[in-house]
Chains A and B, each alone.
Chain A
Amino acid sequence: MILFIAILMLSFIITESIADKQQFEFQFNKYKKIDNNETLTGDFKRGFISKGLWSISRHPNFISEQLIWVTFYLFSISATGIYLNWSIIGCVLLIILFYNSANYTESISEKKYPDYKQYKKKVSMFLGVKKMNWEEN
């Protein structure tokens, strides 16, 4: 059981690092292209990343971070045998904070990038359940 929780947590850490890596490389290349006066296409023209993990979720790094600490909480269940113990408070508050800060960040992105509204319609905020994936165009 502990091993299963550990592997789960590790896999969310890996997902988060992939999301961060994709975002970092995108931003790096975007500013490089702008500095070199290259013609911008696709995501570079749009201004924000919508490929890779960012085509499944608008905040793959946030959802990973939330899941990391929910998984960390599972360790306390395995030790106490109490499914709903007091230490759940941390990950609950983290989920609430990240929901709010994602909303705030998006209100900025919408003003900066005209295509962001379309992206919001197609890709869900955290986990893509209902919405279809973002189509490249």
Chain B
Amino acid sequence: MQYILVFCVSMIKKVITLILSLIVLVYLIFYGNIFEFELNKFQMSVFKDSVIIYLFLTGSCFLVGEISRNYSQVDKVWSIAPIIYVWFFTYHSDYNLRMILMSILVTIWGIRLTYNFSRKSGYSIYFWKGEEDYRWKILKERVPIFNIKIVWSIFNLLFICLYQMGLIFLFSLPILAAWQGEGSAINVYDIIYSNINVIIYYYRVNS
């Protein structure tokens, strides 16, 4: 009995720590002065749209999971969402070469993982069905509090959906940083180019 209690507390602590670590890191990026998160106006509007895609996918996973009582909806989207994100950014960058290469690699990764998940019968022609992760059931057995419907729904919303989908969104974002860097790289070249022009002009005027 005591063992179960200790296990429950440590499990809940872990889940809360994971969610908190995401919130703290996201906060540091947007409101801390550690990193430079400076996007131009257009990139910012594209980024905001990508957050809407994230929220839409997360909401869908939560609702389908709650209605069907199959809590492996995020697993079905896991290998597909990054493909959507990276091509969304690449399209808006007017097909930047580096971003195309990054997107192709993510697509290869995603197709491979989707194939692997379908091979394990993760998908079904009824989109809400499919094999559920065996570990959710065991988690419910080990942490009895999760058998209370509302507690499980909160866990589903915060951890299974918002946290996991957030993680997927965040590990796709180096493509946005690459786009951001490309802008400053062009600026650097622009500066060099304009300097060369000035030098040539100066040279011509004086000769």
- Return the chain B residue nearest A14 by Cβ: B112
- Return the chain B residue nearest A105 by Cβ: B135
Counting contact residues on chain B (CB < 8 A from A), the size range is: 35 or more
Contact A24 B120 (CB under 8 A): yes
Residues of B within 8 A of A97 (CB): 18, 164, 167
Which of chain A's residues 64-92 have a Cβ closer than 8 Å to chain B? 68-69, 72-73, 75-76, 78-82, 84-87, 89-92
Residues of A within 8 A of B112 (CB): 13, 16-17
Interface flags for B167-207 (1: CB within 8 Å of A; 0: not) read 10111111111111110110000000000000000000000
Contact A93 B108 (CB under 8 A): no
Residues of B within 8 A of A16 (CB): 112
Partner-B contacts on A (CB < 8 A): 2, 6, 9-10, 13, 16-17, 20, 24, 68-69, 72-73, 75-76, 78-82, 84-87, 89-94, 96-97, 100, 104-105, 108
Partner-A contacts on B (CB < 8 A): 14, 18, 21-22, 25-26, 29, 35-37, 98, 101-102, 105-106, 108-109, 112, 116, 119-120, 135, 138-139, 164, 167, 169-182, 184-185
- Could you pull out 7 A-B pairs where Cβ atoms are within 8 angstroms? A13-B105, A69-B171, A75-B102, A79-B182, A90-B173, A90-B174, A97-B167
